[in-house]
Structure 1
Amino acid sequence: MATVYFTEDHEWISVDGNDAVVGITDHAQEQLGDIVFVELPEVGSKLSKGDAAIVVESVKAASDVYAPVDGEVTAANDALEGEPGLINDSAQADGWLVKLRLDDTTQLEGLMDEAAYKAMVG
C-alpha cells in the first residue's frame, strides 16, 4: 500500500516501494486558482531533491513545483497538456504530475504526514 507524504512547498508524494507519484496539494491548487498550463519534465530525466522540476501556470501566476526527492522520471501526466484543469478538479488523483523511481528512500524521512501538513496550512 502506498504511503503519502507532504512537503512545506505544498507537493504530495505517494510512495510504494521505490516508485512514487508526485503532484501539488489541494491547498496549493486553491491558492493558484484556475490552472491554464503545465510544463512537465521529460521521461528519463533525473530530478534532484529541491530542484524546480515542473512549472504550473494559473490565471494568477506561474509557480515552480520542486522535486521532493531524488529520482528518475518514469512517466509524466500527458493528459495535463490538453486539460491542465485536472489539477484543480482532482489535485491528488487525476491531476498528478510525474511518476518517479526513487534514488534514496531515506529522503522521505524529512517529509510530513497528512496530519502535520494539515496543521501547517491551518
Structure 2
Amino acid sequence: MTLEYPDDLKYLDSHEYVRLEGEIATIGISAFAVDQLGDIVFLELPEIGDAMVKGESFGTVESVKAVEDLKSPVVGTVIERNLAMIEAPEQLAEDPYGEGWLLKVRLHDLDVEETLSADEYRQLVEGE
C-alpha cells in the first residue's frame, strides 16, 4: 500500500499534521501513523476552548496495538472537534487528511517552523 503525504500540509516527526488556512489550523494524524497503529479503537481530544501548546500532548489515540500521545504542532485555542472521529475512530483509516481531521485551532502564533515538509516527512517515515 502506498501512503500519501499531501504537499499542502506540514508534519511533525511524531506523525501529526497541520493544514494552515489563515489563522485556523486543522490538525490530524498522518496516514503513516494510522497504518502503524492498526485498528484504532479510541480517541481522546481536548474540549472546545482548551489551549494548545506546541510540542505538548493534547490527547491520545488508542489502537489494539498501542496508546499514543498526540502532540500539538501549534499554539492556539481549540474551536472545533471532529465528533465523527471521536464516535467512530476506526474511520480515521479511511481518510486521514480529509474527513479524518481531529481538531480545528485558532492560532495565537503563526510559527510552524519546526514542522517538516511533505518531502522531509516522507524521507523520515520511509527511512524507518
Q: Same fold (TM over 0.5)?
A: yes
User: Which of 109, 115, 121 is matched with 2:113 structurally?
Assistant: 109
1:1-122 correspondence runs (5 A): 3-106=8-111, 108-122=112-126
C-alpha distance in 2, partners of 1:76/1:34?
Answer: 21
Listed as ranges, the gaps of 5+ residues in structure 2 are 1-7
Secondary structure of the corresponding residue to residue 71 of structure 1 = strand
Q: Which ranges in structure 1 are unaligned for 5 or more consecutive residues?
A: none
Q: Secondary structure at the match of 1:111?
A: coil
Q: Share of identical aligned residues, percent? A: 38
Counterpart CA distance in 2 for 1:39 and 1:85 is 13
RMSD between aligned alpha carbons? 0.9
Distance 2:50 2:95 in 1: 25
CA distance in 2, matches of 1:81, 1:113: 27
- Structure 1 residue 88, shift from structure 2 partner: 1.2
Count, aligned residues: 119
Shift of 1:82: 2.1
Any runs of at least 4 consecutive aligned residues in structure 1 with deviations exceeding 4 A, and if so which? none
Q: Distance in 1 between matches of 2:92 and 2:108?
A: 26
Cα drift, residue 71 of structure 1: 0.8
Question: Structure 1-normalised TM-score?
Answer: 0.93
